[in-house]
Amino acid sequence: MKDKKGKFEYGFYWDCLKECVQKFGSIMDLPIINGPGEKISESYSGGKVLDVGAGKEKPIQKYLNLSDDLYFSLDNDPCGRFDYNSVEEIPENELFSLIAANQFFEHITVEDSIGLVCNLAEHLKKNGHLISTVPNIQHPVRQRADITHVTNWDYKALYMLYRYANLKVIEIARYTKRNLRGNHRKICCQDMLIAFIVLIGVTAY
């Protein structure tokens, strides 16, 4: 396990970029899915869920129709009420079968992301899933459309983040919130205008 303090190592990052391309190909090789919801549903087989960066609306709880005893939220937004305001507040022995970070990592630094993912991995059950989504930086405006976006995560860098936490990446895909059909879908795919990336990993032990 690497340092949980979030120290960025360029050599490790570079090795992960090459490894990711070897396993999953280029951005155009990534499959296009309908959205992260289908992957969250496929990855959830019961048990507790941790929603990182849940937001006051907590859409993942609603999407999975989870009771409060199975759904836990982590966020520090003063406009909402959450189970945890930081990862350090999670009890040491608390484990989750699914951890989701939907449109979250682009809002914090690389170093903070590394430290957070390493800590989250400690709270993931064996064969548990960690699912993250980020803006696709190949999209012409998606990353720059929000002034709170801090880090430009391309899919290879997000792969590095999971590997840093000793997670096995099992799938990377692209999706858009718009339902693309026909020629419009074909053009957007060719121009890499699919707006978001979803990456799924599991515990490697």
Q: How far, in Å, CA of 160 to CA of 20, rounded?
A: 8
State which amino acid sits at residue 73: S
Q: How far, in Å, CA of 24 to CA of 115, rounded?
A: 25
What residues contact residue 143 under an 8 Å CB cut-off, 6+ apart?
106, 135, 136, 137, 149, 152
Structural Rg of the chain based on CA atoms: 16
Residue 21 CB coordination number (10 Å) = 15
- Under 8 Å between Cβ of 203 and 125: yes
The DSSP output letter for 203 is E
Compute the Cα dihedral for 160, 161, 166, 171 and give only its sign.
Answer: negative
The DSSP bridge partners found for residue 52 are 74
pLDDT per residue of the chain (205 residues) written in tens, 0 to 9? 344 556 889 999 999 999 999 999 998 899 988 888 889 999 999 999 999 999 999 999 998 999 999 999 999 999 999 999 999 999 999 999 999 999 999 999 999 999 999 999 999 999 999 999 998 887 766 677 778 889 999 999 999 999 999 999 999 999 886 655 554 444 444 444 577 888 888 876 5
Residue 200 confidence (pLDDT): 85
Alpha helices (runs of H) in the chain, residue ranges in sequence order: 10-24, 36-43, 59-64, 110-121, 155-164, 182-190
Compute the Cα dihedral for 187, 18, 131, 150 and give only its sign.
Answer: negative
Domains of the chain: which residue ranges?
10-203
Tokens of 5: 């303090």
Residue 81 confidence (pLDDT): 95
Q: How far, in Å, CA of 92 to CA of 190, rounded?
A: 46
Domain 10-203 matching CATH 3.40.50.150: the answer reads yes
Residue 34 confidence (pLDDT): 85
- Under 8 Å between Cβ of 100 and 60: yes
